[in-house]
Amino acid sequence: MAAGVLAYYSLRFEPPLWLGPTAALFAATAAITLRRRTCAFAIAAALAASTIGFAAAQFATARAPPIETALPTHAVQITGTVRAVETLANGRRVTLEAARLDDGAPLTRTLRIRLRRDDPASLATGDTLQLRALVRPPEAPAYPGGWDLQRDAFYAGLGGSGFALGPATLLAHGTPIAPVRLVQHLREVIAARVSAAIPGSAGAFAVTLLTGFQNAMPPADHDAFRAAGLAHLLAVAGLHIGIVMGFAMLLARTTLAASEHASLHWPAKQIAAVAALAAGLLYALLTGLHVPIQRSFLMAGLFTLAVLAGRRAISLRGLALAATVLTLAEPQEVPGVSFQMSFSAVLALISGYAALRPWLRKLHGQSVWRRFAGYVLALALTSTLAGTASAPYGAYHFGRVQVYFVVANMAAVPLTALWVMPLGLLSLPLMPLRLEFLLLKPMGWGAAIVVWIARTTTSLPFATLAVPHSPAWGLIVLSIGIAWLGLWQTRLRLAGLAAILLGLVSPVLVRPPDLLVSDDARLIAVRTEAGVWLQARPGGSKFTRDEWLQYWAAAAPVPIPADGAAAAGAIACTQDQCLLRPYPDRPAALLIRGATHPDGCAAASIIVSAEPARRLCPKPWPKLVDRFTVWREGATAIWLRPDGASVLTDRANRGDRPWVPPVPKPRVRKSPVLPQAATDPG
């Protein structure tokens, strides 16, 4: 099914809506017909599953409203209803629905507006506000093949984002009557109470654990959690819902055990399991019901059903059912890092513990030391299995691997599970009584220690290592290897190691581009053996620059010199042009800096310019990537090959899809109609 979803997203055109369901119907019919022929049935069943995944992705696209193509480039007056209020590290951000721009028709998609830091307006979900803001559509990928933020926004119903130019005006207070608004309002109230009791980064961490809001964490500390291998503590998922349900089940079992009648006549274990599932559902709703928590709750539901039926609670079948339901409901999450890291980690835990169970049983014993040693080993094994299985996906999406993730998790996870989370959960029922501070204060002490662990781990030498970007096929091969290794029960599973090894070495089998040009041409970079050299114009995107460095696994870029040579002769510049030759035996690229006719056209296979540069070179004109090119085609990647330059644009890479904005049309300047002067007939 995931292969079918990925096949849909790899297309360069939008297929007709009938294609997926029709193919799935034929494949399913073939599978049923061939059910008595083992090999033929396996092939038909796999084809049916992939076509079902393809159809699920098609229907997810059909359900989403079309993108907003008429967002103005100038400041507008926005009036809308608050759907969510998020606390950021240095301000607030609101999500508006049914927004009107300058009293126009309401938008079908939401807008996300960052308020001014000193905005005094008291806002809550359901309120109606008005403000003046500058709005932009979602950003395109930083380079061809980069992460598609526009596709994310398309499925999230987001039409654009921006920042307020003035204070917000509250027009009317709203009552969050709808269930979604009510839950959102409750999340905002809890976040405000926790932030008031626990200041700083510790409070932001506590808010994340109890509400799922991650944006309040300062960027430096957020990066520290990621570098330490503790980012999963901020992405509320299986660990968190496991703590909640385990705590609820323990509390329910203890309460029932206090009654002799309940202990003797009631199914205490089953009742406690149902109570734990209810607590898990409430926690999932409270933390936003995003993909990791959906997967975790599905697994928890299967766990509860297994307990009620007296079956094995944790199994690969349960994981497969959770993946099936989530793929059908949210197929757009399959290419995402959350989906991939979550399922790979759980697969590794289930399969790893199953394979190591005979050795782990030898540690069982009645002595305190054997129990303690078993607990420490289980903690280290859990961190190693989950972290190792999910590390390739983190490397693919973020370009980094964490070195000390096992040590950091062994310190931070028990602290979170036994101290921080239980105190936070017990503080929730005290909030109506205004007594939550009694438990939030000690919760903050534990949260501060977790933040300190992340910071300390990040400060260690070689805490993170930059890794080259893996091609998409390499990640697919690696995923097949992980699935093969995890699903087989015999020695055949070892064949998965070959696929994993091929996926890990795939970055050295492909060559990344030699030049990158941003979609506004304000950033132009060239990769040489001496590092990355960058020409940055005012207004260049820091996000794009960081994405390029991550893609190339490079250190901080060096500015391209205004004049002279650099990079061991690979760059030769004058005031008006730069000849870029990363490979001495290959054609060069010519970077034009002015409007004058350059003299290096004959030595260049391609011209790159931040300004319009058409026809600056004499015929025959080399290939050209200038301001107009990226305006029409998006970010551009250039390979300098022995036979010339090869160019790939973002639009050519993504094709014509519903989340890709149409090709911009040039503005037609109309000549003003002037009144004709009266003529003298004489």
pLDDT at 482: 93
For the chain, the average pLDDT equals 87
- Write b or e for each residue in 420-446: b if 16 or more Cβ atoms lie within 10 A of its Cβ, otherwise e: bbbbbbbbbeebeeeebbebbeebbeb
Q: How confident is the model at residue 217, as a pLDDT?
A: 84
pLDDT at 125: 84
**669, pLDDT greater than 70:** no
Q: How many CB atoms lie within 10 A of CB 647?
A: 20
Beta strands in 426-554 (DSSP E): 464-466, 515-517, 523-528, 531-536
Nearest in space to 95 (alpha carbons), one of 173, 167, 156: 156
The residues facing 197 across adjacent strands are none
Measured in whole angstroms, the distance separating CA 72 from the mean position of its chain's CA atoms is 27
Confidence of residue 338 (pLDDT cuts 50, 70, 90): confident
Please tell me the distance from the alpha carbon of residue 553 to that of residue 467, in angstroms, as a whole number.
6
Burial of 580 (0-12, 13-18, 19+ CB in 10 A): buried
Higher pLDDT, 643 or 50: 50
Would the pLDDT of 396 be above 60? yes
pLDDT 10s digits, 225-239: 888 888 888 877 777
Preceding omega of 620 cis (within 30 degrees of 0): yes
Using the predicted structure, report yes or no on whether residue 682 has a pLDDT greater than 50: no
Q: For 94, phi and psi rounded to 5 degrees?
A: -115, 145
Distances (CA, A) of 391 to 272, 386, 402: 35, 8, 8
Confidence check: pLDDT of 380 > 90: no
Q: Where are the alpha helices (DSSP H) in 287-315?
A: 291-309
Does pLDDT of 129 surpass 60?
Answer: yes
What's residue 120's pLDDT?
86
Question: Mean pLDDT over residues 116-135, rounded?
Answer: 88
Q: How far apart are CA 252 and CA 210, in angstroms?
A: 21
Spatial separation of the C-alpha atoms in residues 39 and 53, rounded to whole Å:
21
Q: Which helix (H) or strand (E) holds 400?
A: strand 400-402
So what's the pLDDT on residue 218? 86
Q: State the burial class of residue 669 (Cβ atoms within 10 Å of its Cβ: 0-12, 13-18, 19+).
A: exposed
Q: Which of 398, 393, 284, 302 is nearest to 350 (CA)?
A: 302
Under the banding of pLDDT at 50, 70 and 90, the label for residue 679 is low
Nearest Cα neighbor of 454 from 413, 395, 397 is 413
Residue type, 594: G
Query: Whole-angstrom Cα distance, residue 220 to residue 611?
Result: 35
163-181 pLDDT per residue, tens: 999 899 988 887 766 777 7
Residue 470: Cβ within 10 Å count = 25
Unique residue bearing structure tokens 């002037």: 674
Give the C-alpha separation, 80 to 128, whole Å: 6
- Sequence-separated contacts (24+) of 302-309 with Cβ below 8 Å: 303/273, 304/273, 304/274, 304/276, 304/277, 307/269, 307/270, 307/273, 308/270, 308/273, 308/274
The CA distance from 457 to 461, in Å, is 9
Q: Are 416 and 570 in contact (CB under 8 A)?
A: no
Average the pLDDT over 525-545 and give the result: 91
Which tokens go with 168? 């917000």
**What's the rounded Cα separation, in Å, for the pair 324 and 318?**
10
Domain 76-175 CATH class label = mainly beta
pLDDT range class, residue 313, cuts 50, 70, 90: low
Residue range 530-558: mean pLDDT, rounded: 91
Alpha-carbon distance of 492 to 45, in angstroms, equals 22
What average pLDDT does this structure show over 183-194? 86
SS3 content of the chain, % helix, strand, coil (to 5): 50, 15, 30
Domain ranges of the chain: 2-63, 76-175, 193-466, 515-654
**Does 361 score more than 70 pLDDT?**
yes
Alpha-carbon distance of 259 to 279, in angstroms, equals 22
How much is the pLDDT for 198?
A: 92
The span from the first CA to the last CA of the chain, in angstroms, equals 86
Q: What does the pLDDT look like over 62-76, one tens digit per residue?
A: 999 999 888 888 899
Strand partners, 91: 88
How far, in Å, CA of 360 to CA of 303, rounded? 22
- Reported as a pLDDT band with limits 50, 70 and 90, residue 673 is low
Length of the chain: 682
The residues pairing with 192 across neighbouring beta strands, listed in sequence order, are: none
DSSP string, 470-485: PPHHHHHHHHHHHHHH
pLDDT band per the 50, 70, 90 thresholds, residue 276:
confident
pLDDT, one tens digit per residue, over 405-434 is 888 888 888 898 889 989 998 999 899 888
Q: Are 131 and 82 in contact (CB under 8 A)?
A: no
* Per-residue confidence (pLDDT) for residue 176, from 0 to 100: 67
